[in-house]
């Protein structure tokens, strides 16, 4: 007896956090989850990933100018992705953006529906402004919606008066709320959201993509020697790159690879010059995931000195490449780093705490194979199983859609 499945569930992913032709790692975790979900064979999906409207390139406004070249439509890994524009107003944009974003999302979603993709559910990522905009559009189009909380949206933005109220409104109306860590679930339920409508579905790690490369070969290619520390993430204060740069002053036998881009770049490089450690630092802009796997493989340790986190994917990526981690005990990090072979957590977010942890880890580092095996426990399988179960509960199919074949 062979059971035949009914029609695939059609979902429309709605988020500003999605990779595009100019930003290959932007929101890569959203794309990765979707790709694994599509592999389940139970859904088909398209993506609306709006980008800020900006009329032309201006050298002094590089942060916004990058959006001018992003195509309005592209295909990534066989998935159709639309990039409509939405208005961002400086200074007061935080309060208005959900509504401008909702307008952009609505007109694009309506066009997608008219063109034949009859989606049954909106899948929003990041609660503010994306999740609020998703909720608005879903209510207009009369379809259920999911929202996934990913970190700063709940850890920080929910504490602001008006955004906090809008986040709570969106969450209370959702068919399901997803958090990538138990710590985020606790914060969301503290806003008054029913615990049974908040589902912890953590990010996994792609253990086929993030693999251990030969350390010496990579180091030779990158002209590296000695003990190598790595700090990966957007160059913004909450990621703590500055603390790692300061720690390097007290770690004379170590060099540092900083991977990422952002507003803090000049400040970090100036600090390195003043501390006299610039000759031991390499800064690498945004790279592809295969290249990132090589960088992880070159390191002795990854350091994540964040002040807040949801579920930091870089920790598992590094471990999958055999490189243990030192991370601040914030957000979901204690749910990831739970064994000596993974690395260690520091309770104090300070230069001295980083220095002590690095020295201890370098003296008794776990074997790369043990670190790799630890990361392999965090596959995507359990997460996707939980997500498909949730979709099945929301999008109930008539029993007549399932037939049995002899």
Calpha distance 18→238 (Å, rounded): 21
pLDDT tens across 346-387, in order?
Answer: 999 999 999 999 999 999 999 999 999 999 999 899 899 999
Residue 141 has pLDDT above 90, yes or no: yes
Q: What is the pLDDT of residue 2?
A: 39
Segment 318-329 mean pLDDT = 98
pTM: 0.85
Calpha distance 101→15 (Å, rounded): 10
In this predicted structure, which of 48-62, 199-213, 288-302 has the lowest mean pLDDT? 48-62
Start-to-end CA span in the chain (Å) = 5
> How would residue 25 be classed by pLDDT, with cut points 50, 70 and 90?
confident
Find all residues with CB under 8 Å of 297, minimum gap 6, and list them.
212, 213, 214, 215, 218, 321, 322, 323
Token pair for 332: 């979901």
Instruction: Give me the numbers of helices (H) and strands (E) for the chain, helices first please.
Output: 16, 18
Q: What is the pLDDT of residue 404?
A: 40
Calpha distance 15→133 (Å, rounded): 9
Identify the structural domains of the chain with CATH numbers, from first to last: 2-204+380-405 (3.40.50.2000), 215-375 (3.40.50.2000)
| Whole-Å CA distances, 119 to 7, 9, 100, 143, 249 | 12, 8, 22, 9, 55
> How would residue 406 be classed by pLDDT, with cut points 50, 70 and 90?
very low
In this predicted structure, which of 11-20, 62-71, 329-338 has the lowest mean pLDDT? 62-71
Number of residues assigned to the chain: 406
Residue 59 has pLDDT above 80, yes or no: no
The widest CA-to-CA distance across the chain, in whole angstroms, is 76
What dihedral angle (degrees, nearest 10) is formed by the CA atoms of 224, 226, 232, 237?
-120
Calpha distance 67→55 (Å, rounded): 9
Check if the beta carbon of residue 404 is closer than 8 Å to that of residue 4.
Answer: yes
| Whole-Å CA distances, 330 to 164, 239, 246, 312, 340 | 21, 11, 20, 10, 18
Helices 241-248 and 351-363, interaxial angle, to 10°?
Answer: 70
């Amino acid at each position: 007896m062979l059971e035949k499945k009914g029609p695939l569930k059609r979902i429309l992913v709605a988020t500003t956090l999605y990779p595009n032709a100019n930003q290959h790692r932007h929101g890569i975790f959203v794309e990765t989850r979707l790709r694994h979900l599509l592999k389940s064979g139970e859904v088909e999906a398209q993506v609306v990933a709006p980008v800020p409207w900006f009329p032309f390139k201006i050298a002094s406004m590089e942060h916004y100018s990058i959006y001018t070249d992003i195509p309005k439509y592209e295909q990534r890994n066989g998935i159709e992705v639309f990039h409509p524009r939405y208005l961002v107003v400086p200074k007061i944009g935080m309060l208005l953006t959900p509504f401008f974003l909702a307008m952009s999302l609505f007109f694009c979603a309506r066009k997608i529906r008219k063109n034949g993709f009859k989606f049954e559910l909106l899948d929003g990522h990041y609660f503010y402004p994306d999740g609020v905009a998703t909720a608005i559009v879903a209510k207009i189009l009369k379809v259920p919606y999911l929202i996934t909380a990913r970190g700063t949206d709940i850890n920080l933005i929910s504490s602001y008066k008006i955004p906090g109220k809008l986040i709570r409104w969106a969450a209370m109306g959702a068919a399901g709320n997803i958090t990538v860590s138990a710590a985020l679930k606790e914060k969301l339920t503290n806003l008054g959201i029913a615990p049974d409508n908040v589902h912890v579905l953590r990010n996994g790690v792609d253990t086929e993509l993030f693999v251990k490369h030969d350390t010496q070969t990579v180091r030779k290619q990158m002209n590296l020697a000695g003990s190598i520390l790595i700090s990966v993430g957007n160059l913004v204060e909450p990621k703590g790159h500055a603390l790692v740069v300061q720690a390097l002053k007290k770690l004379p036998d170590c060099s540092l690879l900083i991977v990422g881009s952002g507003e803090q770049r000049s400040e970090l490089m100036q600090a390195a010059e003043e501390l006299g450690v610039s000759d031991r630092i390499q800064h690498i802009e945004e790279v592809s995931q295969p290249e990132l796997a090589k960088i992880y493989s070159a390191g002795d340790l990854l350091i994540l000195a964040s002040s807040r986190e949801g579920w930091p994917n870089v920790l598992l990526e590094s471990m999958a490449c055999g490189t243990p981690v030192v991370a601040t005990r914030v957000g979901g990090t204690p749910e990831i780093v739970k064994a000596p072979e993974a690395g260690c957590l520091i309770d104090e977010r300070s230069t001295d705490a980083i220095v002590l942890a690095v020295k201890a880890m370098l003296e008794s580092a776990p074997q790369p194979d043990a670190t790799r095996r630890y990361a392999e426990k965090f596959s995507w399988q359990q997460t996707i199983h939980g997500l498909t179960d949730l979709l099945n509960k929301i999008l109930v199919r008539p029993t007549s859609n399932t037939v049995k074949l002899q």
